C-alpha cells in the first residue's frame, strides 16, 4: 500500500487550490447570494484540464488517473460545492460512461469535445415523479426506422440549463415499463440542439446557489439510433455504472467540504473569545473540531480506496457507495457544527459556514439518498446484495495514456 500522492497529484491539487483561491473564492459569496451560475468558470476549468482530468489523452483528456478525479473534486468543493458538481456530472456521470460504454464514433463525436471542454455534459435520470425509484420514470423512446423519438421530462438536473449534451435514460420497451422490468430501459446521448428540446432553471432552490440546477423537457425529440449508448435494454446498467463514478466525486467533494468546515472553525475558534479565553480553549468546541478532523481523515481514506480500485480496474460499487454515504452524512454534521462554533455569526452570510450548511444537504439526497445507501450497505453485509459483472467495465488506469 502507498498512501502518498505522486508529484503529478500534488501539482494538480496545488493548481486547483490556487485557481480556486484566486479566481473563485473572492467572488463566491456574491455569486451565491445572487443565485448566479457564472458560465465563465467553465472555460477556466477546461483550461486547467479539469473537464477531462481522467479521460485518456487519445480522447482529448488530461490522461490522469482516477485518484486525480478525487483530488480535483475534493479541492473544488473546498471552495464551493457548485464547482465540484460540474465535475461530477460532466466527468463522473457522463464522460466516464461514454468512455466505458460508447462506440468509437460516439467517443470521437462527443467524448473528445467534452474532455476538451468544448461541449458541456450532464446526466438526466431523475423526473418529477421518480428519483430513488428509477423504475418509476415515465420518459419513453419509441423507435421508427433509424430514429428514436423521446418524450418526457427530467427534473433536478445539474447544469440542465447550461449543458450541450445529456445522457438520458428512457423506456424503450413499453411492456417492460408496465412490468417495471429495468431491462426495458435504454440510454441515449441527447443534444440540446435536437428539435423539441427545452430546459429551464429551478429558481426556488436554497442550496448550491452558485450552481445551475434545472429541468429539461423532450417533446418527441428525434434522436438518431446511433446515439443510443450501449445496447437496447442496457440503460439501467449504464445509469448504475454512471452513479459509481458520480458518487466517487461526491464522496471526495464532501470530504473537501468537511475540510473547509474544519479550517473555518479552527480559525474562528482562535479569534473569538468567551469567558476570558479563545473559544478554542473550551473542551466542547474542541470536540466538534476533533470530530471534523476524524471525519475528514476517514472520508479521505474511503474515497482514496475507491480511486485506487478504479485505477486497478476492480469493481467498486460497494466501496464507492460507502465512501459517498459516509462522507456526505459526515459533511452535514461538520457543517452544522461549523455554524455552531461560529455562533450567531455562523447564522449570517458574513462567514462561509452558512453556505457550507446549505450546500452540504444536496449530497445527502442526490446520487442515492442517505436511506438508499444505508439499505445498500446493510444488504451487502447481509448477503442480500452482490455486484454482478457488467458487459463493460471502467477501463483501468494505464499510465501510458498520459
Ligand atoms: C441539488 C441537486 C442536484 C441534482 N442533480 C441531479 C442530476 O444532475 N441528475 C439527476 O438525474 N438527478 C439529480 N438530482 C436528483 C436526485 O438524484 C434525486 O433527488 C434523488 O435521487 C432522490 O430522489 P427524490 O428527490 O425523488 O426523492 P424520493 O425518491 O422521492 O425520496 C424521498 C424520501 O424517501 C426516502 N425513500 C425513498 N425510497 C425509500 C426506500 N426504499 N427506503 C427508505 N427510504 C426511502 C428517500 O431516502 C427520501 O428521504 C439532483 C438533486 C438535487 C437536490
* Distance from residue 130's CA to the centre of ligand 1 (Å): 8
Residues in the ligand 1 pocket, defined by CB under 6 Å: 89, 122-126, 131-133, 156-158, 208, 213, 362, 365-367, 369, 371-372, 375
CA 39 to chain centre: 18
Which residues are CB-neighbours of 123 under 8 A, at least 6 positions away? 89, 93, 94, 97, 157, 158, 166, 167, 242, 246
**Segment 139-149 mean pLDDT:** 98
**Segment 204-216 mean pLDDT:** 98
Cβ-based neighbour number of residue 310 at 10 Å: 27
Question: Alpha helices of 48-193 — where are they, by DSSP H?
Answer: 66-79, 81-87, 96-101, 104-106, 112-116, 174-179
* Distance from residue 366's CA to the centre of ligand 1 (Å): 5
pLDDT digits (tens, 9 = 90+) for 282-332: 999 999 999 999 999 999 999 999 999 999 999 999 999 999 999 999 999
Global pTM exceeds 0.85: yes
Which of ligand 1's atoms lies nearest the C-alpha of 208? Answer: 1
pLDDT mean across residues, the chain: 97
pLDDT digits (tens, 9 = 90+) for 39-73: 999 999 999 999 999 999 999 999 999 999 999 99
pLDDT digits (tens, 9 = 90+) for 166-203: 999 999 999 999 999 999 999 999 999 999 999 999 99
Q: Whose CA is nearest to atom 53 of ligand 1?
A: 362
Count of all residues that appear for the chain in the document: 402
Residue 312 pLDDT: 96
pLDDT above 70 (res 36): yes
Residue 401 pLDDT: 45
* Distance from residue 391's CA to the centre of ligand 1 (Å): 27
* Residues 107-123: b if buried by 16+ CB within 10 A, e if exposed: bebbbbbbbbbebbbbb
pLDDT digits (tens, 9 = 90+) for 358-372: 999 999 999 999 999
Contact 159, 125 (CB under 8 A): no
What distance separates the 2 farthest-apart alpha carbons in the chain? 79
Residue 402 pLDDT: 44
Amino acid at each position: 500500500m502507498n498512501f502518498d500522492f505522486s508529484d503529478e497529484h500534488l501539482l494538480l491539487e496545488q493548481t486547483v487550490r490556487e485557481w480556486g483561491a484566486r479566481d473563485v473564492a473572492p467572488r463566491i459569496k456574491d455569486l451565491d447570494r445572487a443565485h448566479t451560475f457564472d458560465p465563465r468558470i467553465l472555460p477556466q476549468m477546461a483550461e486547467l484540464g479539469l473537464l477531462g482530468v481522467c479521460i485518456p489523452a487519445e480522447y482529448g483528456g488530461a490522461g490522469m488517473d482516477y485518484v486525480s478525479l478525487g483530488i480535483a473534486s475534493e479541492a473544488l468543493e473546498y471552495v464551493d460545492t457548485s464547482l465540484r458538481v460540474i465535475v461530477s456530472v460532466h466527468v463522473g456521470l457522463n464522460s466516464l460512461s461514454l468512455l466505458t460504454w460508447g462506440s468509437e464514433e460516439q467517443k470521437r463525436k462527443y467524448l473528445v469535445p467534452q474532455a476538451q471542454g468544448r461541449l458541456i455534459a450532464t446526466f438526466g435520470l431523475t423526473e418529477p415523479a421518480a428519483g430513488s425509484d428509477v423504475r418509476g420514470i415515465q420518459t419513453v423512446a419509441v423507435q421508427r426506422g433509424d430514429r428514436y423519438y423521446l418524450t418526457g421530462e427530467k427534473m433536478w438536473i445539474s447544469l440542465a440549463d447550461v449543458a450541450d449534451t445529456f445522457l438520458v435514460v428512457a423506456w424503450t420497451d413499453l411492456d417492460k415499463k408496465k412490468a417495471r422490468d429495468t431491462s426495458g430501459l435504454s440510454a441515449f446521448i441527447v443534444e440540446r440542439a435536437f428539435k423539441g428540446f427545452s430546459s429551464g432553471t429551478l429558481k426556488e432552490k436554497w442550496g448550491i446557489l452558485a450552481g445551475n440546477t434545472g429541468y429539461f423537457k423532450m417533446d418527441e425529440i428525434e434522436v438518431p439510433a446511433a446515439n443510443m449508448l450501449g445496447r437496447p435494454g442496457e440503460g439501467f446498467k449504464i445509469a448504475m455504472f454512471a452513479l459509481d463514478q458520480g458518487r466517487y466525486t461526491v464522496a471526495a467533494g464532501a470530504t473537501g467540504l468537511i475540510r473547509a468546515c474544519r479550517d473555518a472553525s479552527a480559525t474562528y475558534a482562535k479569534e473569538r473569545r468567551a469567558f476570558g479565553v479563545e473559544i478554542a480553549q473550551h473542551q466542547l468546541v474542541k470536540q466538534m473540531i476533533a470530530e471534523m478532523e476524524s471525519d475528514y481523515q476517514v472520508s479521505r481514506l474511503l474515497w482514496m480506496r475507491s480511486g485506487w480500485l478504479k485505477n486497478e480496474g476492480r469493481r467498486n460499487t460497494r466501496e464507492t457507495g460507502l465512501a459517498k454515504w459516509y462522507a456526505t452524512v459526515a459533511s452535514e454534521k461538520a457543517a452544522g457544527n461549523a455554524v455552531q462554533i461560529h455562533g450567531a455569526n455562523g447564522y449570517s452570510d458574513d462567514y462561509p459556514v452558512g453556505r457550507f450548511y446549505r450546500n452540504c444537504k444536496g449530497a445527502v439526497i442526490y446520487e442515492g439518498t442517505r436511506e438508499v445507501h444505508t439499505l445498500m450497505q446493510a444488504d451487502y453485509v447481509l448477503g442480500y446484495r452482490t455486484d454482478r459483472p457488467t458487459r463493460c467495465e471502467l477501463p483501468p488506469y494505464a499510465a501510458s495514456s498520459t
